[in-house]
Chain A
Amino acid sequence: MFDIKKFGIEIEEDNGRYIYRRNGIEKVVFGKKIIFDLFPIVSSGISNYLQLKLRIPLVIAPSDKIKLEVTAPYDIEVRALKKKKWIPLETIYIQKEKYTLYGPVESGILCRYFESEIGKKEDTAILSLKIENQTKEWQEIKKIVFPAKFHLYCDKKIYYPPLDLVLNNLGLTVSKSEAVKGLREIERFIKDIGIQKKYTMVWGY
């Protein structure tokens, strides 16, 4: 999907071992017939959550449902593969690596930060949102926070699994929806076990 040379990666084979080099990072991988490949992953970096700050806030009428696509970040993981087993060698950050805190200082959660826009944009993934306002008031959404440990999908572009957003008295609940048919699932590396699939934003949205 990605060209290794585009990212300045050099791989040198030397007597049953491979030397991986990029931007001053050097690793020696031992083994024969090792494949090196690049995989897009959800941007989370040192955190477990992702916060999409909507550049233009969404205003939703009472009891209304909307569907839209927004931009979302992705990183690229360089992996060494052999017999369907792989190890990540390095993460390449496509978008600027920034973090933010969602919630108060004493109990908030650290999130990877990204300024999201409606529609599609170069070097970003596509995230489909289904938003349902179950309250009897107008609602404004400025940011979306969700656990960022799942795998992505692709055809010619990169897709997040669609997210269902429900606004009610509890707050904004974000949950992972069924993947869109026809998209190829990018091989997973993260075990799904123990990963939170639903998150309720109680500190504002």
Chain B
Amino acid sequence: MGILMIELMDIIEEIESKEIFGHSLSVWILSLIILIIGIFLAKFFSHLAWKWSRKRLDRHGQDTFKKIIYYFIVIIFVMMALNNLGIDFSGLLVAGGVLGIVLGFASQTVVSNLISGVFMYFDKPLKIGDTVAIENVEGVVTEIDILSTRIRTWDGNLVRIPNEKLFNSVIENKVSNEIRRVEVVVGIAYKEEVEHAINVIKKVVEDHRYVIVEPAPLIFVNELGDSSVNLTIKVWAPNDYAYQTQIELLKLIKQALDKEGIEIPFPQRDIWIRKK
């Protein structure tokens, strides 16, 4: 027992005497313990904050609140750990002027994204789960962070858009309303009677369960094209069923026109050969 105690004392002495970057190993270990405790507490309290905010905030608000609590606690414990290593923060404050300018230039984009993120939190142009189109990116919002927003595109890719860019972009939010407009264009042959074709399409549209009664559907001749008379069908459908409605309408209109013997022409061109 006595030998063990002596050995332990030797190890402690060795740790005390060993210096790394001007500090004893025990100081480094203590700082590390402070950091680990800090991360543990940050996780614990941020989880509590998330639970508290579940009934009070939306998902975006919950995530933001959780992250603020987490990073706040982590920063405090990082400062405590650094203080333990003898880093004096008052010195940093004196040097803050110069450092501030340097950091200011370096973190211009980060701060800009951060502020845009805060503005977006209050403005709420989109929320998690919304179907949006932002410039060339279209998909579902999966995450709104304090610095960036992530969108899962229709082909399954994850696109990260910095909040600053998002804040300055034109955002087309496709699910903020209950219904969305669906548009289908069908061309019929010039020889066909337009009124009859419109009535056939009208029947298909009215029979479709997801085509909204009001606002009423619109069917009209939109263009006298090169090869066909183009009819535009504009209907409204519930948001979640808009894409399905568009797909089904196209198929059903084609079937109904075929049944009535109304020709959907393919592009054609008459070529006249000049006689010599």
Contacts and interface: CB of A to CB of B under 8 A. Distances in A.
B217 to A, nearest CB: 12
A14 interface: no
B212 A101 contact: yes
A110 B237 CA distance: 10
B209 interface: yes
A46 B177 contact: no
Contacts of B177: 105-108
Contact of A46 (B213, B214, B241): B241
Contacts of A100: 212-214
Interface string B231-263: 000001010110000000000000000000000
Given A46-B240, A99-B238, A101-B215, A108 B178 contact: yes
B179 A110 contact: yes
Q: Is the interface of A mostly helix, strand, loop or mixed?
A: loop
Contact of A98 (B213, B215, B236, B240): B213
B28 interface: no
A110 B241 CA distance: 12
A171 to B, nearest CB: 18
A110 B178 contact: yes
B121 interface: no
Interface residues of B, number: 14
B216 to A, nearest CB: 10
Given A99-B213, A100-B212, A113-B213, A105 B179 contact: yes
Nearest to A106: B177
Interface in A144-168: none
Interface in A36-56: 46-47, 53
A151 to B, nearest CB: 24
Contacts of B209: 96-99
B65 interface: no
Interface in A61-113: 96-101, 105-110, 113
Interface of A: 46-47, 53, 96-101, 105-110, 113
Interface of B: 176-179, 209-210, 212-215, 236, 238, 240-241
Given A53-B213, A101-B214, A110-B238, 4 more contacts: A47-B238, A100-B212, A108-B177, A110-B179
16 contacts: A46-B238, A46-B240, A46-B241, A47-B238, A98-B209, A98-B213, A100-B212, A100-B213, A100-B214, A101-B178, A101-B214, A101-B215, A105-B236, A107-B177, A110-B238, A113-B213
